[in-house]
A and B are shown apart, each in its own frame.
Chain A
């Protein structure tokens, strides 16, 4: 079945550091790959979405790219700020949006 794996549980960076969070996925369909951000005390918010049609997405300084060859997609930001401290979830939605799979989440702490 479809699945998504997010191995980095916690990441601690200093301001202006480079952020890279990786997810791998398994699917037999043409998935949509998403990144959600969840700030403390809030619900998850859609940050970026990439599909097989557009293998890259950019929003709020974050960039998501996916590599069909390695079935991986990652989230990166050139220079993180303290306000980026949050939990980041990768997710996979199958072609018909019938099934939605979240990764386990990466808790990012940015130290000023």
Chain B
């Protein structure tokens, strides 16, 4: 899926700090971070609309999102925990009431 690019694709960390990046080339106004743990559906973490954070689900404070412009989304993670091992998907939609497009995800493994 080249419409939404996420980097890195794979990440193996100890208790370190790292940032996940997402960029969408769709001209969408809303961007999302989802977490998908093994054999579970995606769960919403954060929602930005027009660069403003409008949804912040119950997420550990070590996860800090950032939206530097309307096409980019970052997820800063500090001192990762083994329970953070999952695939993190970025998604976007034209408006908050439009269909989503998901990226291919960043697979995070915490060792």
A residues contacting B by CB (< 8 A) are 34, 41-46, 49, 89, 96-98, 100, 102-105, 107
Contacts and interface: CB of A to CB of B under 8 A. Distances in A.
B97 A45 contact: no
Contacts, number: 40
Interface in B1-56: 1, 4, 39-44
Classify the interface of chain A: helix, strand, loop or mixed.
loop
A97 B96 contact: yes
Contacts of B40: 104-105
Given A89-B41, A102-B41, A45 B98 contact: no
B105 A43 contact: yes
Nearest to A89: B41
Contacts of A100: 44, 100
Contacts of B104: 41-43
Given A104-B41, A105-B39, 7 more contacts: A42-B1, A42-B104, A96-B97, A98-B96, A100-B44, A102-B42, A105-B40
A45 B102 contact: yes
